[in-house]
Amino acid sequence: MIHARIPFRLLCWFAGTVLIASAVKPALADDAQRAKDEQFVALLMRLDSIDLDKNEAIKTKVIGVLERNQGTQLFIDLVKRFKIKDASPQLFKLALTKPNDTLGVEAARLLFDFGQGVRFRELLSEATTADNQTKQNNALRVMGHTNHQYAQSILASMVVDNKRSKQQRTVAVQALGQTRSGERRLLALAQKGQLADDLHFTAGNVLFASLDEKIRAAAKKHIKLPASLNAKPLPPISELIKRKGNIANGLRVMKKTQCFTCHRVENSRVLSGINEGKDVGPALSEIGSKLALDAMFTAVVDPSAAIEHNYTAHHIETEDGEELVGIIISETKEKIVVRVAGGITYSIKPADIYSRKALKTSLMPPNLQLAMTEQELVDLVAFLAALKKQ
C-alpha cells in the first residue's frame, strides 16, 4: 500500500469546502456527515505535522468533528493525534460509562498519558454513596484495563487500604488481575503478606487463572482458598458425567467464574432472551450441539488439550514494558490488533513491539475447577450441555 504525502494546501481546500457546505450549529453526525468527517480525518492523519493554531479553517473543522462525534473512535483518534487535553472531561465521561469497552479504555489511557490520572484519584477519594458507587467501580475496572503503571499503582494502593470497603477492595483486586503486569503486582502483595485474608478468595480466582505458570505456582504458596473448593481430588470424568446438574445454578457458576469475560451466549433455547458475554473465545450459544459431555468436562478442566486455530493466544511485550496476552484479530504493516480477556482490543505498532510469542496454552485458564465445588462443576457442564440450536 502506497502512502503518498498529502499537500497541506489540499487539506486546507478540503476543510474549507466542507465548512462552507455545512456552516450550521454542530450536532451529532448522521451517516452522511460521519462519512465526510471520516474522510477529512483520514486525510488529516496522513500529514506528518500540523499546527492547528496556525490555520483557523483546519482548527474550526477539527472542533466541529470533535463535537459531532463525541464517544466514537473518530473522537478518540483526533484527541490522540493532536493531544487535545481540553477534551479531558469528555474522555473521563467516556471512561466511566464504558469501562469494559475498547473506547472507554482508550479514553482512560489518554487521560493518564495527559497526566490526568488525578481525576481518577479524586473520584476514588470521595465518600462512597449510592450515587457514585457505580462510577467508582467503573473507574477501578477501566484503570485495570489500561495496563498503565500509574493506574496500577492506584489500584494496588486501594487493595491494601483496609479503610476501604471490602466491595471496593474486591473490585480493585479484580481490576489488577486484568493484565499480566497487574497480576504480578497482586502476587507481590500476597508474597509480602499485605493481602488481607478476606481478599484471598478473589485474588485466588485471579492468580490461579493466570496464563503464566510461574504466577500460578507462586500464588499457591501464598493464597489460601476455602477448603470446600478443593478439599479432595476430582473424581474421574466418567463418574462426573453420571451426576445430575442444575442448569440454573450452572448459569450462576458461569458468572461467578467470569466465563462471560471471554465467551458469548445469546438466543439460547435453554434460557430465552439471554445475551451475555464477550467475543474473545469461541461463542457458546450452541456448544451443547457440538461437544459431548466428557469433552465439556475436559474443556473446563484442561482447556489447552484442544485449542482452535483461530484462538491461539499470543504474548506481546512492548518497548515500554507493557505486556498483553490475547488473540490477534487483525494484522497489517501499520498495526496489530489484539483482543484480550474482557473483549478489550489494543492497537500496537509493529515497531513498538519488543517481543512476540505464540502460546502453547489456551487463553482460557487451566484448573478452573479450583474456583468451584464438584457439584458446581457438574452444574456448569449441565448448563453448557443445554445450550443448543433453537
What DSSP line would sit under 80-141, residue for residue? HHHT-GGGHHHHHHHHHH-TTSHHHHHHHHHHHHTT-THHHHHHHHS---TTTHHHHHHHHH
- The domain locations on the chain are 8-112, 138-225, 237-305+366-385, 313-358
Residue 7 phi, psi dihedral angles, 5° rounding: -60, 140
The mean pLDDT of the chain is 84
Quick count: other Cβ atoms within 10 Å of Cβ 114? 18
Query: Has residue 239 got a pLDDT over 80?
Result: yes
The answer to whether 131 touches 175, Cβ cutoff 8 Å, is no
Say if CB 132 and CB 96 are below 8 A apart: no
Contacts of 362 (CB under 8 A, 6+ apart): 303, 304, 307, 311, 313
- What is the SS3 string spanning 19-73? HHHCCCCCCCCCHHHHHHHHHHHHHHHCCCCCCHHHCHHHHHHHHHHHHHCCCCH
Of the listed ranges 16-30, 235-249, 254-268, the least confidently predicted one is: 16-30
> 194: exposed, middle or buried (C-beta count within 10 Å: 0-12, 13-18, 19+)?
exposed
Q: Which of 229, 173, 232, 231 is nearest to 198 (CA)?
A: 173
Give percent above pLDDT 70 in the chain: 87
Residue 175 pLDDT? 94
Answer yes or no: is pLDDT of 143 > 80: yes
Residue 343 grid coordinates = 473483549
Q: Please determine, for residue 152, whether its predicted confidence score (pLDDT) is greater than 60.
A: yes
| Among the listed residues 307, 269, 289, 299, the one whose alpha carbon sits nearest the alpha carbon of residue 380 | 299
Residue 18 has pLDDT above 70, yes or no: no
Taken in order 126, 130, 135, 140, the sign of the CA dihedral is positive
Residue 230 in this model has a pLDDT that exceeds 70? no
Is the pTM above the cut of 0.75? no
Mean pLDDT of the region 60-79: 89
Amino acid residing at 293: L
State the CATH class of domain 313-358: mainly beta
What local confidence, expressed as pLDDT, does residue 24 receive? 42
Cell of 125: 477519594
Fold observed for domain 237-305+366-385: Cytochrome Bc1 Complex; Chain D, domain 2 (1.10.760)
Lowest mean pLDDT among 30-34, 178-182, 321-325: 30-34
Tell me the C-alpha distance between 373 and 349, whole Å.
Answer: 44
Write out the DSSP string of 270-282.
Answer: SSTT-EE--SSS-
> What is the identity of the amino acid at 87?
A
